[in-house]
């Protein structure tokens, strides 16, 4: 079910109605049922996969719990010499359970999402040896599998790490994993972030409804007015890969498009959650105010970056292997190079995973590696840049320097987005080369009129101004709330009328096709 | 504790680790710094800093970090 | 609390009203010949004084090209108007009739039956040209809700709030879009779409010759023609069925079917395709596009015959002495000038 349909609005309305009609302690059940109905409408019998994931992590959690309880009871009777061995055994048992759960869940995701890609490449290899290719099955993906699989594994690992106590309440866990607004594009929440809030029934507060609706209106505006408008130019330009400025503009507009669309979708998701009194985690925090690539990935798709940091980066970087290697390098290499090497290994996995998470193709792997290389170069050059800055007496806190850093970061992101949007790695390389050639094309030839560009520019300016206020800690929504009722309604009025007049929806009007043609 | 402060200042010079209480919240140290710090702590205190202790609360100040190190040694 | 509810309701009403009020600005202004002056035809009809028209000509594009109401005024003092739509199907014809009778009660209605056997939909542009300038009324709501149109919910909403359909025109709005959005001005041709083009009809000698084919009167369309007949009967309006000369959509078979139907319903049926000699009609000269539609020369001949027929068979009112119709003289002068300019290629 797409968020931008009357179907979803109706579904949301009914789900909210039912939620608040029921007494507080049963409200979570209505959420669980709504979520599974939503999931079934979207994925039909593929719902079984969501259930399998839920069941595996539920059982894994209970087993780990059981082991912990028996350890507490039995460890008193263990002799001190055998304690270390005993503790290791316990750890091995728990590890095995977690490993099994990971294999099952990532296995399902792997087969459904990546087997086609893997088999394709294997077949290419086989064809070199004149071996007949293996049959490839393509699968329809269960809704949100890339998101809920990560959420499921975060639960198991957190229980294993002792951060969480496993829940005996299957329904509570099922709701955490299936809450319907999160099923389309996330956010990827952790169990201790949302499970409690989802489970406890919330009192009806008109403020929550208003806030939710406001966020949804904002999201619809970003998608229909900005994202889809930029998308017209983007779709046309990426069909033909022309030269020079229009191509570069295409990359910029694609970055704008994906930002408006993804963050707008998140507005609708968080707004929907808010209407149930549930606060879902943010995924965007003014990403184009980032001064470095690392910072960008802490402000863009925040929950994915956080998940990768907690479940890939830290485990690998703090592993015995990495730590021992790091110590070795520290003894024999200069400090900055040692720092570089101690993170280079785990970061490779981080960015390979980030790339492949986005899609099953070499293009996405290249996308991840692109940021890996940028970050690695950044770390290597850091001491040199510091020297240059000190020589030129440039203060890092200087506003001009900060703007330079933001523009530089945005430029790298735009190029990364160009790769992301290109049809393949090859096409991207061709397009990138073409950027520096001059072409006889007019940016007005790709479906947008000057009026449309003005709309987009006004939005970007508004984004910058609002962003500056938000960076200073001002919460725009609170400011609006303080205004008098006329101004508040005026803002909603302008928003709704703008969506209806400026939104990209329905058929366009083409004079020639309306000229008296057929009877 | 003095040893810890030395380690921190070595890795991130220019920060007053005796006074700062919001190292993570104010983004004074990032995840790369944490890894470098932990690597050094592991060496000098001869411990294995577990992933489970990588929490913002534990790294927000030198005191908090020292508490965790002590806990790990005693376990 | 009450204050909050009231202000919310006011907000909703203001928003909906705004969408309704700004919509006419976005509707394309079909005021040129390539759009057959449809906007002028429809809005010009509403500009006529209530209950002032004695004869209405209705039907599809054959009618707006083929009839010349100002001739009837000049010759007989008949106050008439061609209220038509291009690509009109029988179901649209019925609702246009119902709409026409909201502001007029003519004595006679002359209805062009050309598309009586067309069961497919008009193009989207034809449906929109028929409805977008139609005033909002119970009739219009009934029409867009009629399942025969297969309009989606969004379509239906867009007929009440056309801004939903035409909002993309925001980047191309002109002064005319604002000027012609509101208000009704008399259309000096009284509904005629004038063309001075001449393109001969090649198959003129054979299109009415096939005596072996038959054409059925589909139930789907007959139901609406029946409704037209019944409505006229109810309102005591004399209905005359006609078929204007049409090279590409008429045949002897269709003539036979319609003759039979007219007899059943006890209605006169005038097939101009069988009266070509009586009208001195010339397919080489009197059609603008090779037989599909007439030009002003053909329209004059058809109207001359029509006028005589009406005078001989019906009680027609001569309004030339009526003070209430004084403005028709001025209108007729403007029409005559425009017609002369058109012929001289000005």
By the 8 A CB rule, do C193 and C54 touch?
no
For B21, the 3-state DSSP assignment is coil
Of the candidates A420, A444, A494, the one whose C-alpha atom is nearest the C-alpha of residue A232 is: A444
Q: Is A400 contained in some domain? A: no
Q: Hey, is the C-beta of B51 within 8 angstroms of any chain A C-beta? A: yes
Q: Does B3 touch chain A (CB under 8 A)?
A: no
Chains that touch C (3 or more CB pairs under 8 A): A
Chain B neighbours (≥3 Cβ pairs under 8 A) are A
Residues A211 and A195 in one domain: no
Q: Which of A214, A458, A501 to mutate to test the interface with C (most CBs of C within 10 A)?
A: A501
Residue A200's φ and ψ, nearest 5 degrees, are -80, 130
Name the β-bridge partners of C239. C109
Are A220 and A314 a contacting pair, CB within 8 Å?
no
With CB atoms and an 8 Å threshold, state whether B31 touches A309: yes
C109 forms beta bridges with: C56, C239
From A156's Cα to the closest Cα of chain B, the distance in A is 13
In degrees, rounded to 5, the angle at the alpha carbon of residue A368 between the alpha carbons of residues A255 and A180 is 70
Residues in chain B: 75
- Nearest-neighbour CA in chain C from A507: distance (Å): 7
> Which residues of chain B does A379 touch, with a Cβ-Cβ cutoff of 8 Å?
32
Partner B contacted by A10 (CB < 8 A): no
Query: Buried b vs exposed e over A382-406: b needs ≥16 C-beta within 10 Å?
Result: eeeeeeeeeeeeeeeeeeeeeeebb
Q: Does residue A286 contact residue A474 with C-beta atoms inside 8 Å?
A: no
- 8 Å CB contact between C37 and C193: yes
* pLDDT, mean of residues A375-391: 88
Residue A395: strand, helix, or coil? coil
List b or e across C145-173, with b for residues whose CB sees 16 or more CB atoms inside 10 angstroms.
eeebbebeeebeebbbbbbbbbbbbeeee
Range in A429-438, C120-129, C153-162, C294-303 the model is least confident about: A429-438
pLDDT at A516: 52
> What is the per-residue DSSP string for A225-252?
IIIHHHHHHHHHHHHH---HHHHHHHHH
Q: Do C87 and A451 touch (CB under 8 A)?
A: no
Q: How far is A236 from chain B (nearest CA, A)?
A: 40
Q: How many domains does chain A have?
A: 3
Burial class (CB in 10 A: 0-12, 13-18, 19+), A369: middle
Any A CB within 8 A of B13 CB:
no
User: Does an interface of 3+ CB pairs under 8 Å exist between A and C?
Assistant: yes
Nearest to B31 among A313, A320, A339 (CB): A313
Which tokens is A254 given?
């694609």
Which residues are CB-contacts of A184 (< 8 A; sequence separation ≥ 6)? A3, A143, A144, A265, A269
Q: In angstroms, rounded to a whole number, what is the distance separating the alpha carbons of residues A519 and C59? A: 12
Which token pair is C58?
């209705």
CA distance A304 to C277: 83
Provide, as residue numbers in chain A, all residues whose Cβ is less than 8 Å from the Cβ of C165.
Answer: 506-507, 509
Beta bridge pairs of residue A344: none
Q: CATH 1.10.1200.10: does it fit domain B2-11+18-74?
A: yes
pLDDT of A127 over the 90 cut: no
For C128-184, write each residue's pLDDT tens digit.
999 999 999 999 999 999 999 999 999 999 999 999 999 999 999 999 999 999 999
A181 touches chain B (CB under 8 A): no
A299 and A267 both lie in a single domain? no
Is A320 within a domain? Answer: yes
Give the strands of the sheet with C269-271, arranged side by side.
Answer: C80-84, C55-59, C108-112, C238-243, C269-271
Whether the per-residue pLDDT at C323 is higher than 50: the answer is: yes
Residue A406 lies in a domain: no
Q: Which domain holds residue C96?
A: 2-343
**Cα–Cα dist A80/A88, whole Å:** 13
Is A452 close to C170, i.e. CB distance below 8 A?
no
Domain boundaries, chain B: 2-11+18-74
Residue A501: which of C118, C126, C163 has the nearest Cβ? C163
> What is d(CA A218, CA A271) in angstroms, rounded to the nearest whole number?
9
Q: Is residue A467 part of a domain?
A: yes
Question: Which residue in A493, A507, A511 is closest to C15 by CB distance?
Answer: A493
HSE-up of residue A121 (Cα within 13 Å, Cβ side): 7
Whole-angstrom CA distances from C270 to A52, A115, A193, C110, C258 are: 76, 73, 81, 10, 10
Chain B contact for A309 (CB, 8 A cutoff): yes
Structure letter (DSSP) for residue B52: G
pLDDT tens, residue by residue, B50-69: 888 888 889 998 889 999 99
Kindly determine whether residue B35 and residue A318, on different chains, have CB atoms separated by under 8 Å: yes
Q: What is the least distance, in Å, from the CA of B39 to any CA of chain A? A: 6
The helix/strand/coil state of A165 is coil
Q: Are residues A46 and A186 in the same domain?
A: yes
Which residues does chain A have within 8 Å of residue C133's beta carbon, measured at their own beta carbons?
Answer: none
- Kindly list the residues from chain A whose CB atom is less than 8 angstroms away from the CB atom of residue C18: 493, 497
Residues of chain A with Cβ-Cβ distance to B36 below 8 Å are: 339, 342-343
What pLDDT digit, counting tens, does each position of A139-172 carry? 899 999 999 999 999 999 999 998 999 999 999 9
- The H-or-E segment that residue C108 falls in is strand C108-112
* Token digits of residue C221: 């369309």
Model confidence at A368: pLDDT above 50: yes
* d(C-alpha A106, C-alpha C337), whole Å: 82
Considering only alpha carbons, which residue of chain C is nearest residue A498? Answer: C167
| Residue B39 forms contact with A (CB below 8 Å) | yes
Yes or no: say if B14 and B45 are a contact pair by the CB < 8 Å rule: no
Q: Give the pLDDT score at B43.
A: 86
Asked if residue A246 and residue A234 are part of one domain, the reply reads yes
Query: Among the listed ranges A96-110, A447-461, B32-46, C16-30, which one has the minimum average pLDDT value?
Result: B32-46
Check: CB of residue A15 under 8 Å from CB of residue A34: yes
The phi-psi region of residue A498 (left if phi > 0; otherwise alpha if psi is between -120 and 50; otherwise beta) is alpha
C71 burial level (CB within 10 Å; 0-12, 13-18, 19+): buried
Average pLDDT value over all residues in chain A: 91
* Averaged pLDDT score across all residues of chain C: 95
Q: Tell me what the mean pLDDT of segment A471-499 comes to.
A: 93
Helix (H, G, I), strand (E, B) or coil at A371: helix
Confirm or reject contact between A379 and chain B (CB < 8 A).
yes
CA A411 centroid distance within chain: 20
Residues paired with C294 in a beta bridge: C287
Q: Which distant-in-sequence residues (6+ apart) come within 8 Å of C55 by Cβ?
A: C72, C78, C79, C80, C81, C106, C107, C108, C109, C110, C310, C316
> Residue A518's pLDDT is what?
40
How many angstroms separate the Cα of A104 from the Cα of each of A110, A151, C162?
10, 14, 54
* b/e per residue B4-41 (b: at least 16 CB within 10 A): beebbeebbeebebeeeeebbeeebbebbbbbbbbbbb
Same domain, A387 and A439: no
CA C90, C96, C101, C105 torsion: positive or negative? negative
What are the pLDDT digits (tens) for A257-267? 999 999 999 99
Q: pLDDT by residue (tens digit) across A209-257?
A: 999 999 999 999 999 999 999 999 999 998 887 778 889 999 999 999 9
- For C87, which residue in chain A has the nearest alpha carbon? A519
Q: What pLDDT score was predicted for residue C346?
A: 74
Q: What is the ipTM of this complex?
A: 0.93
How close does chain C come to A501, measured CA to CA in Å? 5
Backbone angles phi, psi at C270, to 5 degrees: -105, 110
Q: Which of B39, B48, B51 sits opposite A314 (nearest CB)?
A: B51
Name which of C106, C75, C71, C72 is nearest C83 in CA terms.
C106
Orientation angle between helical segments C69-76 and C296-313, nearest 10 degrees: 50
In terms of C-beta density within 10 A (0-12 exposed, 13-18 middle, 19 or more buried), how is residue A210 classed?
A: middle
The mean pLDDT of C63-76, rounded to a whole number, is 97
* Average pLDDT estimate for C208-226: 95
14-33 of B, contacting A, C-beta below 8 A: 30-32
- Do the beta carbons of residue A57 and residue A152 sit within 8 Å? yes
Per CB distance under 8 Å, which residues of A are interface residues toward C? 6, 449, 451-452, 485, 489, 492-493, 496-497, 500-504, 506-509, 511, 513-519
Strand, coil or helix: what is C1? Answer: coil
Q: Are residues A324 and A194 in the same domain?
A: no
Query: Are A75 and A86 spatial neighbours (Cβ–Cβ below 8 Å)?
Result: yes
> Is the domain of A152 the same as that of A32?
yes
Q: Structural domain of residue A225, as residue ranges?
A: 205-280+411-519
Q: In C, which residues are within 8 Å of A449 by CB distance?
A: 171-172
Per-residue confidence at A464, pLDDT binned at 50, 70, 90? very high
* Subunit contact A519:C7, Cβ cutoff 8 A: no
- A336 pLDDT exceeds 80? no
Smallest CA-to-CA distance from C35 within C153, C132, C164 is with: C132
Provide, rounded to the nearest whole percent, the portion of chain A with pLDDT above 90: 69
CA distance B34 to chain A (A): 9
User: Domains in chain C: how many in total?
Assistant: 1
For residue B4, whether the previous peptide bond is cis, meaning omega lies within 30 degrees of 0, is no
- Rounded CA separation C122/C143 (Å): 14
Distances from the Cα of C82 to the Cαs of C59, C224, C228, in angstroms? 8, 20, 16
* Cβ contact C228:C239 at 8 Å: yes
Identity of the residue in A162, A314, A342 whose CB atom sits nearest the CB atom of B54: A314
Of A451, A503, A506, which is closest to C165 when you measure between CB atoms? A506
- For residue C140, the SS3 value is helix
Cβ-based neighbour number of residue C93 at 10 Å: 26
pLDDT of residue A517: 43
Of the candidates C46, C38, C159, the residue with the CA atom closest to the CA atom of residue C101: C46
């Amino acid at each position: 079910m797409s968020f931008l349909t009357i179907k979803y609005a109706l579904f949301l309305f009914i789900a909210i109605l039912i939620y608040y009609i029921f007494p507080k302690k049963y409200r979570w059940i209505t959420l669980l049922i709504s979520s599974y109905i939503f999931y079934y409408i979207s994925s039909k019998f593929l719902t079984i996969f969501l259930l399998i994931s839920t069941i595996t992590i539920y059982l894994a959690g209970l087993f780990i719990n059981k082991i912990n309880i028996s350890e507490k009871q039995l460890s008193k009777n263990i002799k001190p010499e055998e304690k270390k061995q005993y503790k290791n055994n316990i750890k091995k048992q728990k590890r095995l359970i977690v490993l099994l759960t990971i294999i099952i869940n990532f296995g399902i995701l792997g087969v459904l999402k990546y087997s086609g890609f893997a088999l394709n490449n294997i077949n290419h290899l086989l064809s070199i040896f004149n071996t007949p290719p293996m049959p490839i099955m393509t699968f329809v993906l269960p809704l949100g599998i890339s998101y809920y699989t990560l959420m499921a594994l975060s639960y198991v690992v957190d229980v294993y790490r002792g951060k969480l106590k496993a829940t005996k309440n299957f329904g509570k866990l099922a709701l955490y994993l299936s809450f319907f607004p999160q099923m389309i594009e996330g956010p990827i929440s952790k169990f201790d972030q949302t499970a409690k809030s989802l489970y406890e029934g919330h009192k009806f507060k008109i403020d929550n409804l208003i806030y939710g609706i406001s966020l949804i209106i904002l999201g619809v505006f970003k998608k229909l007015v900005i994202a889809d408008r930029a998308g017209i130019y983007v779709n046309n330009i990426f069909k033909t890969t022309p030269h020079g400025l229009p191509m570069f503009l295409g990359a910029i507009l694609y970055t704008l498009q994906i930002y408006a669309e993804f963050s707008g979708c998140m507005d609708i998701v968080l707004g929907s959650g808010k209407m149930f009194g549930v606060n879902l985690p943010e995924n965007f925090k003014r990403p184009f105010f980032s001064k470095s690539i690392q910072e960008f990935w802490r402000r863009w798709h925040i929950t994915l970056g956080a998940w990768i940091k907690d479940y890939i980066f830290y485990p690998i970087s703090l592993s015995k292997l990495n730590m021992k290697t790091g110590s070795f390098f520290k003894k024999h290499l200069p400090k900055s190079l040692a720092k570089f090497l101690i993170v280079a290994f785990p970061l490779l996995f981080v960015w390979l995973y980030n790339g492949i998470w986005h899609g099953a193709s070499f293009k996405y792997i290249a996308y991840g590696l692109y940021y890996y290389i940028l970050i690695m170069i950044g770390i290597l050059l850091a001491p040199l840049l510091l020297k240059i800055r000190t020589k030129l007496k440039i203060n890092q806190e200087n506003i001009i320097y900060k703007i330079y850093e933001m523009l530089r970061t945005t430029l790298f992101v735009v190029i990364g987005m160009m790769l992301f949007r290109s049809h393949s790695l090859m096409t991207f390389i061709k397009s990138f080369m073409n950027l520096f050639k001059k072409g006889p094309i007019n940016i007005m030839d790709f479906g947008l009129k000057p009026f449309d560009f003005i709309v987009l520019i006004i939005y970007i300016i508004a984004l910058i101004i609002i962003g500056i206020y938000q960076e200073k800690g001002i919460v725009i929504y609170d400011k609006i709330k303080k205004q008098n009722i006329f101004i508040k309604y005026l803002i909603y009025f302008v928003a709704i009328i703008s969506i209806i007049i400026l939104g990209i929806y329905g058929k366009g009007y083409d004079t020639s096709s309306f000229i008296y043609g057929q009877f | 504790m003095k040893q810890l402060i030395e380690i921190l200042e070595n890795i991130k010079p220019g920060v007053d680790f005796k006074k700062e209480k919001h190292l993570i919240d104010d983004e004074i140290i990032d995840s790369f710094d944490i890894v470098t710090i932990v690597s050094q702590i592991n060496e000098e205190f001869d411990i294995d800093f577990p992933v489970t202790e990588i929490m913002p609360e534990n790294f927000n100040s030198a005191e908090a970090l020292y508490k965790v190190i002590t806990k790990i040694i005693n376990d | 609390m009450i204050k909050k509810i009231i202000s919310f309701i006011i907000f909703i009403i203001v928003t909906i009203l705004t969408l309704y009020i700004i919509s006419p600005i976005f509707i394309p202004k079909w005021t040129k010949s390539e759009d057959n002056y449809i906007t002028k035809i429809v809005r010009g009809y509403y500009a006529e004084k209530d209950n002032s028209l004695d004869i209405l000509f209705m039907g599809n594009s054959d009618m707006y090209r083929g009839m010349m109401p100002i001739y009837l005024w000049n010759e007989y003092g008949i106050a008439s108007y061609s209220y038509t739509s291009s690509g009109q199907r029988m179901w649209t014809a019925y609702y246009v009739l119902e709409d026409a009778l909201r502001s007029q009660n003519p004595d006679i209605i002359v209805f062009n039956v050309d598309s009586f056997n067309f069961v497919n939909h008009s193009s989207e542009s034809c449906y929109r040209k028929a409805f977008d300038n139609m005033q909002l009324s119970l009739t219009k709501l009934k029409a867009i809700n009629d399942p025969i149109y297969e309009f989606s919910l969004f379509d239906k909403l867009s007929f009440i709030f056309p801004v939903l359909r035409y909002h993309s025109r925001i980047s191309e709005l002109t002064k005319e879009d604002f000027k012609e959005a509101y208000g009704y001005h008399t259309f000096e041709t009284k509904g005629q779409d004038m063309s001075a083009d001449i393109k001969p009809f090649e198959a003129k000698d054979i299109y009415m010759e096939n005596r072996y084919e038959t054409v059925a009167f589909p139930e789907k369309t007959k139901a609406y023609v029946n409704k037209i007949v019944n409505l006229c009967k109810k309102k005591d309006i004399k209905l005359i069925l006609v078929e204007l000369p049409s090279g590409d959509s008429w045949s002897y078979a269709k003539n036979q079917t319609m003759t039979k139907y007219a007899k059943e319903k006890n209605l006169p049926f005038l097939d101009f395709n069988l009266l070509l000699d009586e009208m001195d009609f010339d397919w080489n000269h009197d059609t603008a596009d090779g037989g599909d539609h007439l030009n002003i020369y053909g329209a004059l001949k058809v109207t001359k015959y029509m006028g005589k027929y009406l005078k001989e068979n019906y009680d027609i009112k001569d309004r030339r002495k009526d003070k209430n119709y004084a403005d028709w003289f001025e209108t007729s002068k403007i029409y005559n000038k425009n017609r002369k300019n058109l012929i001289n290629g000005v």
